Structure 1
Amino acid sequence: MQRQAMDPDWDDLRVFLAVARGESLSAAGRVLKRDPATVGRRIARLEEAMGAALFQRAPSGYGLTVAGERLLAHAEAVEQAVAQGVEALSGAADRLTGQVRIGAPDGCANFLLPRVCAGIRARHPGLDMQIVALPRVVNLSRREADFAITVSPPAAGRLTVQKITDYHLHLVAHRDYLATARPIERLEDVAAHPVIGYIPDMIFDAELDYLAEIGAEGVALASNAVSVQLGFLREAAGLGIAHDFSLPFVPGLQKVLAGTFSLTRSYYLVRHAADARNGRLHRVGDMIAQGLRAEVARLEAMA
């Protein structure tokens, strides 16, 4: 006779979510501040209580089974309900508290988000704002962050996507470089100058591949970080494409061929679909989007 599954308690589901997101007992243990062996025993106990295997064990990590995938959505719903209940009981309807982590490309993380996050926290001192600057797309399914800022809307995953704003880029160089370099009167003239940009095989989004836009065949000085590219430009080492919103931070940089060449890209705010009913994150997300729109407009007006 088949044994009837038992209802897990919230602590069991917390352990399950940590393993599902970290894909290993050790990663889950770090989040839960528990020994990995203890986490393993809790998962084994939960699987026994549920009467089903929730994970496939492999050398590469723990992957969800079909039963685990079904439980995941319900576990995340319980997580949101608990969070909303705590918020309601705390009497903090207007005050936002707790940790909020935002993953973003380093251009956005360096030049836009600090002012935006500082402004949000000034209004809500109980928030702990964290910015994760990564040269890749943040994995929300593994809960690396609560929000991701991306330059392309993701096409897969249980995610909600909101366009924040457009931003602009131009070909730039330091005035010291332009003072001695060969004249640049047409886009074809760029080929005679050293180009600064991304490391080609480390570009994580096609929207960041600017080389074809200027007809450059390669980069003389490259980095996967926008801040390093701006450092090369500050040293009068060549030409590069830079965000207009970054130019006020680097005195001496000048737009080149501004009347004939520019690029337009967009930022998107991405969050996990399970957070759609989380009132706290919804409010924070609205403030992030509004703040980024205002900051892009403010800095581009100064460029």
Structure 2
Amino acid sequence: MLNSEELRLFLAVIREGNMLAAAKRVGVDHSTVARRMTQMERTLGARLFDRSPRGVTPTPAAHALVGYAERIESELLAAMSSVAGRDRTVEGTVRLAAPEACAAHLIAPHVAMLRARHPGLTLELASESRAASLSRREADIAIMLNPPPRGRLVTRRLVDYRIGLYGARDYLVQAGEPRRAADLARHGYISYIEDLAGFPEMIALDELLPGADICFRASSSAAQHVAVAAGMGLGMLHVFAAAQDDRLVRLLPDAMTVQRSYWLVMHADLEGLPRVRAVVDFLDDVMRGLRDQL
């Protein structure tokens, strides 16, 4: 009969695509994963993976097993949540995935507050340019730019924020500061690499200035910020980050501003865990305090 540990390792292999990465993910030896997968195949009387030097490829039998394994995983997490919820001690590790600018400018500066509240809690903050997959357990909590369409997820709007057009002071002295929308065509712009933008909402420039002359693209919002501050051109930047940089000037705020939202998303099975609840409360307090800046 299969056991929960074998199913946990099986899902790790499915999610990582090879046994070495799966072993690192769950904290065991590669040989242990290989041995347990072989044992599972013997128990089931079916081959689960085609093995090659490049990794492993799930067979139809493996794909058939995934849904059952994930349901068992969810039930175990729900059981842990129910039991853990009776003990209000907050300790352990919580992984939070958030867009780069949110992670760097809104969350990281305040993590000392979380540590002071809960010394036994470790926060892992993963800066992501794409939506973390909660179904693959890439994170316990995710902050996203739009709510996911489906899944056993708890989703709610966390906070609204603005993106505005900025240029460097020195650049504007040389190139001229745009005073009206017609002046914008004289400038070059910094924006995202479109096929690497994890959310279409990241590319605010296309919404306001379709066909703008793009002179530099980057997948990182921080790299765009630095390029604008260095005088390469104009760019749509997060107001909460750009407003703190004295090198930058905000331009045409009435016309060149878009509003976006951060959404808080977590797996329903984890909502009741004290450590997860503590991080959610921390995020609510931080965003509440920053609302005017956003």
**TM-score bucket (shorter structure):** 0.7 to 0.9
- Do structure 1's residue 210 and structure 2's residue 204 form an aligned pair? yes
> Secondary structure of 2:254's partner?
coil
Kindly indicate whether residue 39 of structure 2 is the aligned counterpart of residue 45 of structure 1. Answer: yes
- Alpha-carbon contact 1:269-1:289 (below 8 Å) kept: no
Residue in structure 1 matching 2:262, options 259, 267, 276 = 267
1:74 pairs with 62, 72, 91, which one?
A: 72
- Give 1:84 shift: 5.4
Give me the whole-angstrom Cα distance separating, in 2, the residues matched to 1:60 and 1:262.
Answer: 48
Q: Matched residues in 2 for 1:189 and 1:241: separation?
A: 16
1:193 maps to what in 2? Answer: 187
Give the 3-state SS of the residue equivalent to 2:214 in structure 1: coil
- 1:153 and 2:160 matched: no
Unaligned runs of 5+ in 1: 1-5
> Which residue of 25, 28, 31 maps to 1:31?
25
Task: Specify which structure has the bigger relative contact order, considering alpha-carbon pairs within 8 angstroms and separated by 6 or more residues.
Answer: 2
Contact (CA 8 Å) 1:54, 1:66: kept in 2 or not? no
1:232 aligns with 2:230: no
Structure 1 vs Structure 2: percent identity of aligned residues? Answer: 30
Q: 1:244 to 1:103 in 2, by over 3 A?
A: same
State the alpha-carbon separation in 2 of the partners of residues 143 and 36 from structure 1.
20
Q: By how many angstroms is 1:53 displaced?
A: 5.0
Q: Would you say the 8 A contact 1:197–1:229 is kept in 2?
A: yes
Amino acid at match of 1:250: D
- Retained in 1: the 8 A contact 2:187–2:213? no
> How far did 1:26 drift?
1.5
What's the TM-score, normalizing by structure 1? 0.83
Q: CA deviation at 1:214?
A: 2.2
Change in 2 beyond 3 A, CA 1:54/1:261: farther
Contact 2:166 2:248 in 1 (8 A): yes
C-alpha contact (below 8 Å) 1:150/1:269 kept by paired residues? yes
Distance verdict in 2 for CA 1:185–1:216, change over 3 Å: farther
TM-score, with structure 2 as normaliser = 0.85
CA shift for structure 1 position 161: 1.9
2:94 alignment partner, one of 91, 100, 111: 100
CA contact (8 A) 2:190 2:224 kept: yes
Q: What does the per-residue CA deviation read over 1:249-276, in whole Å, with 9 as the maximum and x for residues that have no partner? A: 3113121011333100010112234324
Conserved 8 A contact 2:96-2:141: yes
The number of residue pairs the alignment matches comes to 288
1:54 positional shift: 8.8
User: Using the alignment, how far apart are the partners of 2:218 and 2:96 within structure 1?
Assistant: 23
